[in-house]
Structure 1
Amino acid sequence: MPGTTYWNAGERFMETVNLSYPLSENVVERFAAPQVLALGQFDGLHLGHISVIKAAISLAREAGLPAAVMTFYPHPKEVMKKGDYDGYLTPPAEKERLLRELGIDYFYVVEFNEAFSKVSPEQFVAGMLLPLNIQTAVIGFDFHFGHKGAGDAGMLCELGKPQFTVHTVPPFLIDGEKVSSSGIRKWLHEGRVDLAAGWFGRPYLVRGKVINGEKRGRTIGFPTANVEPSEHFVLPVKGVYAVKAQLEGEDRWLPGVMNLGVKPTFHEGVTKPSLEVHLFDFSQDIYEHELTIELISYIRPERKFSSIDELIAQIGRDADTARELLS
């Protein structure tokens, strides 16, 4: 691992490191050196999570040390089949991109599986944290770890002595309410993408490849890009949204309107929702291109229309509403 002089010289870059329990000798040999580590699931990388990570970055810069983040993949709820898990607010590739922008030096991704779920707090610290020789662990106020979440901040402090100290970050509040991943999921399921954006600190987005669809949109005057999400994103409630979209490799954002749903006017019995985006004043062939879609505002729920003409008229009104919301 580079010495501390490196962290003040040249352009920063982030290295992503996949880990499994317990750490291998190769990993320990390469990465064991004083560092500040933000520790958590960080599903969403919302403003609360970012406050924890920025605290770690600040402490690392003050000490002249690398700033690292350790998280877990797949999501524990996905592995354990518990709760109402419905996808990632910020899937791995998106999380990696955001952490790189924040200025993280090392991104440790720990494999979470059934065996790892049984690792005790003591085993986790002894097998994952102490070998890395971290100087400071930075956690959120409600951080739990180890089998059945038995470990908390107090236990981490005790288990880390005398090698590392623990810095606990208080909850991040907006209008007196704690920003949380569960709260953001609730907003998305209610179509409140504006409130979700406020807690994220950025618009909620979905990224995917433009694939061949039914090509019905072009026959009714509203050609659409059919987008297949590239990762297991949480999808908001079915309906129509004002959106901005960006093609891979381009800087400009294109305004548009998106339908997320099962197209009940044309289909019955379909359960898997599709994403269809109509980009305003745009006619470029973008099949097989990656499209990033920011959800700006919810317009209305999806519904079945009695005729194609009624549908066309409604799409026209939706497009006008979206233009207004995006102007």
Structure 2
Amino acid sequence: MKTVHLSYPLSAGIIEENAGPQIAALGQFDGVHQGHASVISSAVRLAKQEGIPSAVMTFHPHPKEAMKKGNYEGNLTPLPEKQELLAGMGVDILYVVDFSDSFSQLSPQAFVDGMLMALEVKTAIVGFDYRFGHKGAGHAEMLRELGNGRMNVEIIPPFEQDGKKVSSSAIRSALHSGELEEANRLLGHPYRLRGEVIDGDKRGRTIGFPTANLRLDDQYVVPAKGVYAVRSLVQGEWLPGVMNLGVKPTFQEGVTAPSFEVHLLDFDRDIYGEQLTVDLVSYIRAERKFPSIQELVAQIQADAETARRILDLSK
């Protein structure tokens, strides 16, 4: 998959290099969840039928982050994760549009003419709730109107599970409430975090459970505090583990910023400074304060065994 970074107005060089008949899925696609997949897979399928490239056009940074509006708190899928997921879906081109202040002022007509028509998008595929242009003035049906016969538009209906629309907001809500299995079901893949292993207080090693402390690579949506069964990509190998996400109340008070500590099962190698990819598989329990270190250690042992059972069953 080729990734092309765009800013408005498009330069002559960008147009010359990338213009040509193509099928483009349009949207923010944060999470690349099952609803998004229904839009993107439609573009990939149609492009293959017509023998032309499939494209996805998304925006970076997230519009809510760029405009400092709404309840933006982070990404479900930062750009690197989004790239990996889209490449795995068979997308040929990813257009990453710089969502600047000037771009946010663009009228719906200017977006269609200056971006989609300039790239010669033959068919645009969007979700039923797609919005574009200044203050979201454009909607899916308007996209069809503004194409004015120059561009086909396919509008994909809501993707539902158990009678409910799959949405990024529903996934965020599930993550916040500790309903990880529900969030993963809506996503269609495990919720993933990625970061660098950094020095911590090394307390875990003294109680027999060394942990990899993560400094996250991006601003992620932070799930509920607690203990999770996880799989981690370490030195090219996926390994089982258990992660504590929280403020370690047994050892400290007054801390609000959560830490991310991963104990890898049956693993004892130095990985400081390395990148760790962590897939959250199951929520085991909420974080809590223990009356003694001995009771904490006993609970960690139980959590590790619970994680091992869960991960063995979910292979």
Which TM-score band applies after superposition, normalised by the shorter structure?
A: over 0.9
> 2:170 is matched with which residue?
183
> 1:270 is matched with which residue?
255
Could you list the runs of 4 or more consecutive aligned residues of structure 1 that deviate by over 6 angstroms after TM superposition?
A: none
State the superposition RMSD in angstroms: 1.1
> 1:221 is matched with which residue?
208
Q: How does 1:134-149 map to 2 (within 5 A)?
A: 134-149=121-136
Is residue 133–residue 163 contact of structure 1 (8 Å, CA) maintained in 2?
no
Q: When the two structures are superposed, what TM-score results if normalisation uses the length of structure 1?
A: 0.93
> 1:290 is matched with which residue?
275
Q: Aligned letter for 1:276?
A: E
SS in 2 for 1:37: strand
Q: CA deviation at 1:127?
A: 1.2
> 1:301 is matched with which residue?
286
Is residue 88–residue 232 contact of structure 1 (8 Å, CA) maintained in 2?
yes
Q: Aligned letter for 1:29?
A: E
SS in 2 for 1:55: helix
> 1:90 is matched with which residue?
77
Equivalent residue for 1:254, pick from 239, 249, 273: 239
Q: CA deviation at 1:162?
A: 2.2
**2 CA distance for matches of 1:283 and 1:111?**
42
> 1:6 is matched with which residue?
none
Does 1:20 find its partner at 2:16? no
**1 CA distance for matches of 2:82 and 2:300?**
34
Does 1:61 find its partner at 2:35? no
Q: Aligned letter for 1:59?
A: L
Q: Aligned letter for 1:62?
A: Q
**1 CA distance for matches of 2:289 and 2:246?**
11
Equivalent residue for 2:183, pick from 196, 202, 205: 196
**Number of positions where the alignment pairs a residue of Structure 1 with one of Structure 2:** 312
> 1:41 is matched with which residue?
28
SS in 2 for 1:319: helix
> 1:70 is matched with which residue?
57
Q: CA deviation at 1:213?
A: 0.8
> 1:172 is matched with which residue?
159
Give the stretch that moved more between structures: 33-42 or 297-306.
297-306
Show CA shifts across 1:155-207 (max 9, x none).
11111122111011111111111110000001100111111111111111111
**1 CA distance for matches of 2:311 and 2:249?**
27
> 1:51 is matched with which residue?
38
**2 CA distance for matches of 1:34 and 1:312?**
61
Structure 1: 5+ residue runs without aligned partners? Answer: 1-13
Structure 2: 5+ residue runs without aligned partners? Answer: none
- What is the percentage of aligned positions where both structures have the same residue? 60
**2 CA distance for matches of 1:306 and 1:275?**
22
**1 CA distance for matches of 2:102 and 2:248?**
42
